[in-house]
Structure 1
């Protein structure tokens, strides 16, 4: 009965959106696969009570991890979540490939029949999403309930935080195609940078430089490079005043040596590409307030989580790509006779 209700609900939502989209400009419509995913997530929320943004965030996290680990997905479809056999069928199940709901339930597996065919297939989109939705809301539908279930599933605090933060980003913008980026310094300011990732550093002990230094004058605006959640904000003896932002694509953006933060900005805020977050300074290499031990610059770093640990990677290629893209946009505006909007967001949603 629930499955029939689900299929009817999905059909209704797709039909309703088709009618609405007739009056929506083509440029405002989301790419088809992403739109289909949102329909699916929201339909599942209506059926099970599992918040659509958490389902979308878990799916995004799994998709990011699959790409990073360069694994070939064993399943095709819109859903990227791949549940291990022991979790799906139950750890004590003698048949870890079982697709029979009663057997799976008996052995405390999470697999369920979501499409009404009588089987709980771990490679079927509907079965996977239906199963995950029930698992996440097993103890309730509050964010804390879901975090507890995510911990139960991953047994690691980092995935729990990443999925929670991606969910908040999705909730704010009501969409999931948030993979646009921009250069952190407005182009009309004087700045310079080169590839220095991996070079040696001595202050505080021998270590490598985990970023690219963008040299600019004191007070030069620093902008968010992405759609993201501010996970970290405050003082660090190495980085001085710094901000850490998590995006939806498994990147952690680190901005250090700031002179200060934008007024009112705080940990837990959600930002978008081009949004002002602070200004260039020379803070760090000492206790809170230390400044002037080196020329003013922005230290910009990028990090990823591979399922086990977080590691740094060279941000220079990304910075060059974003800078070039921004310059091209400015050229197009000039050709059209439009005045470049240097102080506004370069990426519009």
Structure 2
């Protein structure tokens, strides 16, 4: 995650909105594409404020006709008449023209993104992030929250990587937070509900994809918040369910272990997704939540 100054953020928003005005593609899609690429590259190129790095094939095309990039899409987005693959305005203008060639509806944009990235998870992540930016009308969304109320009776230790026997020999991909049945479970982040339902091992569980290409997994729930559904945009502190002990059997199986929240985090780098230890983040968010009381 990059540290971004207020002035850089303002400059980025100006670029997104300028490109939106001339392409009719809503600004939050450009912001979401940029946000996605900020997570898959090690650093922003020098002299740039966006992180989008087009493939040379997209920019220049090929000698032989190509289904997606026949002649290349690189074009000048400012007044210098130069199509520079290192210029933010040129990149956004060229990408906007490419997307617009498919149309400007949500489905059109989804198809354009798939043909650009050719990866389902990438497209879903960008579309989710766009909906978050649309709802909150900003890209400055850095708040976080602890997943349980601080006044609840809870306890947790670093259990990531521990051996698990249920469901075959495997490691524990998360942190278990023990609490009483029915304690509210909250979203820790801004994001979109990507999955909701039953799993043989996880019981009633819900998954939220945030704007940093991270999937947050909440398992063994007693139940869900009324009305919450896949596609909902959530923010830190929104209640999504409650602590339970469900799982390890058909739907409704419960009580084979003490009630607790299994909280997992998975990072996507544009090629692979993997589990990482959520414990340090939970400790940080817990501390921040106590300071804000």
Q: TM-score, normalised by structure 1?
A: 0.79
Distance 1:32 1:172 in 2: 22
How far 1:74 sits from its partner (Å)? 3.4
Residue 65 (structure 1) shift: 1.1
1:272 aligns with 2:235: yes
Secondary structure (helix, strand or coil) at the match of 1:161 reads helix
Quick one: distance in 1 between partners of 2:45 and 2:55?
A: 12
SS in 2 for 1:44: helix
2:96 corresponds in structure 1 to: 133
Q: What residue in structure 2 maps to residue 327 of structure 1?
A: 290
Superposition map of 1:4-23 within 5 A: none
* Residue 27 (structure 1) aligns with: none
In the TM superposition, 1:137-148 aligns within 5 A as 137-148=100-111
Asked if 2 retains the 8 angstrom alpha-carbon contact of 1:255 and 1:299, the reply is: yes
Q: How many residues align?
A: 285
For 2:260 and 2:43, the matched residues in 1 are separated by 41
The superposition leaves residues 288-337 of structure 1 with CA deviations (integer Å, 9 ceiling, x where unpaired) of 1110010000000001111112110000000000011111222xxxxxxx
Question: 1:56 is matched with which residue?
Answer: 31
How large is the RMSD of aligned CA atoms in angstroms?
Answer: 1.4
Shift of 1:202: 1.6
How many Å separate the matches in 2 of 1:302 and 1:142?
A: 32
Distance 2:204 2:262 in 1: 11
Question: More relative contact order in 1 or in 2 (CA 8 Å, sep 6+)?
Answer: 2
Is contact 1:234–1:243 with CA below 8 Å preserved after alignment?
yes
5+ residue gaps in structure 1?
A: 1-29, 94-105, 331-349
What SS does structure 2 have at the residue aligned with 1:214?
strand
**Structure 1 residue 143: deviation in Å?**
0.9
Contact 1:304 1:310 in 2 (8 A): yes
CA 1:325/1:268 → structure 2, altered by over 3 Å: closer, same or farther?
same
Q: Alignment partner of 1:183: what SS?
A: coil
- Asked which structure has the greater CA Rg, the reply is 1
The answer (yes or no) to whether the contact 1:235–1:241 under 8 Å persists in 2 is yes
| Structure-2 separation of matches of 1:65 and 1:179 | 18
State whether structure 2 residue 4 is matched by structure 1 residue 33: no
CA distance in 2, matches of 1:274, 1:237: 27
179, 193, 204: which one aligns with 2:142: 179
Corresponding residue of 1:86: 57
Measure how far apart 1:73 and its partner are.
3.6
> Are the equivalent residues in 1 in contact too, given 2:38–2:44 (CA < 8 A)?
no
Separation in structure 2 between the aligned mates of residue 118 and residue 44 of structure 1, nearest angstrom: 16
Q: Quote the offset at 1:107 in angstroms.
A: 5.4
CA distance in 1, matches of 2:178, 2:22: 53
Deviations 1:126-148, CA, capped at 9 Å, x for gaps: 10010111111111001111111
- Runs of 4 or more, structure 1, over 3 Å off, are 72-75
- How far 1:251 sits from its partner (Å)? 1.2
| 2:219 paired with 1:256 | yes
Secondary structure at the aligned position of 1:128 is classed as helix
Determine which of 40, 45, 50 is the counterpart of 1:65. 40
Tell me if 1:302 matches 2:265.
yes
